[in-house]
Structures are given as C-alpha cells and as structure tokens.
C-alpha cells in the first residue's frame, strides 16, 4: 500500500511539473509574440509619449530612456524581466501603471463574460442534447439554424441591432454603460463588479439599474456562446447515443430520459468541460466589440481605445493578460478532465 501511495505521489508530482513547464513555455512564447508584434507594427512608441510636435532632442532622450537603442533580444529580455515583476510599463494615455489599469477594468469584463457563459451553457447544453436526440427532425433543424445565425452573424451587428430595437424602439433595456449617470459614484468599488458591489452595499436601485444595462450585452455574448456550445454538445451526444451502453440501457428497460440524460450526457459532459472553458476564454477575448458598442468599462473597451491612441504598453499588457487567462483556463480544464475521466491518465 505504501508503494502504491508513493507511486501515485510521484505520478501527481510529475503531472504537476509537466503542467508548470507547459505554462512557463507557453507564457514565454506569448510574451515573445506580443513583444515582437509590438515592435513591428507601424507605431512609434516614442511619439506616443512625446507627441508629434516634440523636438529632436526630446525625441532622442526619450528614445534612449525607453531602451530602444538596444538590440531586440536585449529589449525582450528586459521586457520579460519587468513582466515577471508585474511591471507592464505605464500607459501613455492614463499615465498610470498598465497593471493598475488592467486590475481596474478586468472585473467588469469578467462579470459580463461570466453572465454570457452562464446563459450560453444553461441554454446551449439542453439545446444540443435536444438537437442530437431529434436528429434530422424539425427540432434539430430549428436549433441548428438558430445556432448557425449566432455563429455566423457578426456580433457587433447584433449589438447595434439590439440597441436599436430593444433600447431605442421598445425601451425594454437601458442603453450603453454600466449604470445611468444619476447612479454613478453611489457604490464604492470593492470587487469591480457593479452587480456584486451594489448588492454588498445594499443599493438595490443601483442593482436594478445595472441589471437593465448588462442584460442586453450579456444575452448577446450568451447567444454567441450558445451557438458554439450547442453545436459541440450535439456532436458529442450524437456520438454517445450510438454507443452500445446506451442501447444496453434501453434494452434493460431504462426510460429515454435515463438513457439520454444519465448515461449519454454523463459521458459527453467530460469533453464538454474543455469546450465550456475555451468558450469562456473566447468570451473574455471577444468582448472587445461588445464592450466598445455598449461603452462597457471593461478590458475590451480599454484595449480598443488604447489601440486607437497608439498606447503600445496598454495593448501589450492587455494581450498578455488575456493570453494568460486562456492558458490558465486550458490547464484547469485539462486537470478537471483528468479528474472526471481517470482513463485519460492511463493513455499518457
């Protein structure tokens, strides 16, 4: 028994070391990619600091202070060293550390993407199961058409149409922003999430107003996520419903609900963990357009405005943050996958 425990401990240590090495190498590649893209884009970081009308003397002084006279590999090593210390530089626009800006804007994006993922998962998984169960029948065709629209139509177009119909014409929801101007500054930011902060403060008027603002962008992101999740759920369920264990369960007298939901869906749910995790990362990344259209004070809006103003440090810092979130979500989904399906450890 002691030998088995020691063997299991060594196996877990090896897996943990493998994950850490994978994360380190991936992050290094991400840093290299963002750094060199930032150096080849036709944006002069010096001009972003000193302005177009600066003298040649001021330009050269800032050029040397930023270390741009050094070879690229030295600049990259210096950049990695600063990032490891949490230093992404200073934003040329806000004149604050980029890390502080990201910490202030990211919770709003996290709030919006989380609600979108919940909507997409709660509706998308049952829709995918129903589509697979009624394969090639009218419910399947209807769900596939709805998913195809959400997967194909540009999300910024849906956002503009949604604002015109539900805000301007019907007045069912509030417009852009987190809250109306009247409610701004009432709730002290604690977590960065307006819904959570207003609930903690007991400001239920602010909470209701925030809900009316977030519902439309969250539903649009949820629709985008729903299209992907329902499509993948349908594909995995079609594979599981043809397996022999489902046929065996039916022959033993199991109800359709038990055969589909408790047998087929249970096995399909294991790879769905990875699908949902990657969908979450996609919402965090793809919220740029939605946040810009709805003036949502999240990292997507921050990156878009920084890009238009040639704020290289802010753009690179935001890109690294989103990439790191993707890596963490991917690794967590891989760990959860192995926990739910021990057979995956035997294949390695």
- A 10 A CB-CB count for 37 gives 12
Specify the pTM. 0.81
Compute the average pLDDT of residues 13-19. 69
Asked whether 225 and 279 are in contact (CB, 8 A), the reply is yes
Instruction: Encode pLDDT of 278-306 as tens digits.
Output: 888 878 776 778 888 898 888 888 888 88
Which residues, at least 6 apart from 44, have a Cβ–Cβ distance to it below 8 Å?
A: 310
Asked whether 299 and 322 are in contact (CB, 8 A), the reply is yes
Compute the average pLDDT of residues 268-279. 84
In this predicted model, which residue has the larger pLDDT, 259 or 146? 146
Compute the average pLDDT of residues 202-208. 90
Compute the average pLDDT of residues 11-34. 74
How distant, in Å, are the alpha carbons of 83, 232, 265, 278, 279 from that of 235? 41, 5, 12, 17, 16
Instruction: Classify residue 193 by its DSSP letter.
Output: -
Asked if the model's pLDDT at residue 9 lies above 60, the reply is no
Please tell me the total number of residues recorded for the chain in this structure: 348
Task: Report the C-alpha gap between 317 and 123 in whole angstroms.
Answer: 34
Helix extents (H) in the chain:
2-40, 45-50, 56-65, 72-84, 98-133, 138-152, 155-162, 194-201, 204-241, 244-251, 256-257, 265-293, 299-308, 312-340, 343-346
Instruction: Encode pLDDT of 240-255 as tens digits.
Output: 888 888 888 877 877 7
pLDDT the model gives residue 345: 52
Instruction: Encode pLDDT of 218-239 as tens digits.
Output: 999 999 889 889 999 999 888 8
List, by residue range, all CATH 1.10.3720.10 domains of the chain: 104-311+319-346
pLDDT the model gives residue 5: 46
pLDDT the model gives residue 207: 92
CA 193 distance to own-chain centroid: 16
Asked whether 92 and 43 are in contact (CB, 8 A), the reply is no
Which residues, at least 6 apart from 49, have a Cβ–Cβ distance to it below 8 Å?
A: 62, 66, 92
- Nearest in space to 124 (alpha carbons), one of 141, 147, 140: 147
pLDDT the model gives residue 6: 58
The CATH homologous superfamily of the domain defined by 104-311+319-346? MetI-like (1.10.3720.10)
Mean pLDDT (the chain, rounded): 81
pLDDT the model gives residue 49: 66
| 48-57, 108-117, 130-139, 197-206: least confidently modelled range | 48-57
Task: Report the C-alpha gap between 215 and 174 in whole angstroms.
Answer: 9
Which residues, at least 6 apart from 183, have a Cβ–Cβ distance to it below 8 Å?
A: 205, 206, 209, 210
Which residues, at least 6 apart from 259, have a Cβ–Cβ distance to it below 8 Å?
A: 246, 249, 250
Instruction: Encode pLDDT of 45-82 as tens digits.
Output: 676 666 667 777 777 787 777 777 777 777 788 878 88
Residue 15 — pLDDT band, cuts 50, 70, 90?
low
Asked if the model's pLDDT at residue 346 lies above 50, the reply is no
């Amino acid at each position: 028994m002691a030998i088995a425990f020691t063997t299991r401990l060594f196996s877990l240590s090896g897996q943990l070391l493998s994950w850490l090495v994978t994360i380190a190498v991936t992050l290094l590649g991400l840093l290299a990619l963002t750094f060199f893209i930032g150096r080849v884009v036709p944006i002069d970081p010096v001009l972003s600091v000193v302005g177009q009308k600066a003298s040649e003397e001021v330009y050269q002084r800032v050029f040397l202070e930023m270390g741009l006279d050094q070879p690229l590999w030295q600049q990259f090593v210096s950049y990695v060293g600063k990032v490891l210390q949490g230093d992404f530089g200073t934003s040329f626009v806000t004149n604050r550390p980029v890390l502080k800006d990201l910490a202030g804007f990211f919770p709003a994006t996290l709030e919006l993407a989380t609600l979108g993922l919940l909507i997409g998962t709660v509706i998308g998984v049952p829709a995918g199961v129903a589509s697979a169960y009624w394969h090639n029948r009218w419910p399947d065709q209807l769900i596939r058409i709805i998913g195809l629209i959400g997967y194909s139509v540009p999300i910024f177009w849906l956002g503009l149409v949604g604002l015109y119909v539900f805000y301007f014409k019907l007045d069912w929801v509030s417009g852009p922003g987190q809250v109306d101007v009247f409610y701004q500054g009432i709730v002290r930011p604690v977590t960065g999430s307006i819904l959570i902060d207003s609930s903690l403060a007991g400001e239920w008027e602010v909470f209701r107003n925030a809900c009316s603002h977030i519902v439309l962008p969250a539903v649009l992101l949820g629709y985008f996520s729903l299209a992907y999740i329902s499509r993948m759920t349908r594909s995995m369920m079609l594979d599981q419903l043809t397996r022999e264990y489902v046929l065996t369960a039916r022959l033993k007298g199991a109800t359709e609900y038990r055969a589909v939901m408790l047998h087929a869906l249970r096995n399909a749910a294991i790879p769905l963990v990875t699908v949902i995790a990657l969908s979450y990362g996609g919402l965090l990344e793809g919220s740029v357009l939605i946040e810009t259209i709805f003036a949502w004070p999240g990292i997507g809006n921050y990156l878009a405005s920084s890009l238009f103003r040639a704020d290289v440090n802010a753009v690179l810092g935001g890109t690294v943050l989103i990439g790191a979130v993707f890596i963490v979500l991917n690794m967590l989904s891989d760990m959860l996958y192995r926990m739910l399906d021990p057979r995956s450890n035997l294949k390695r």
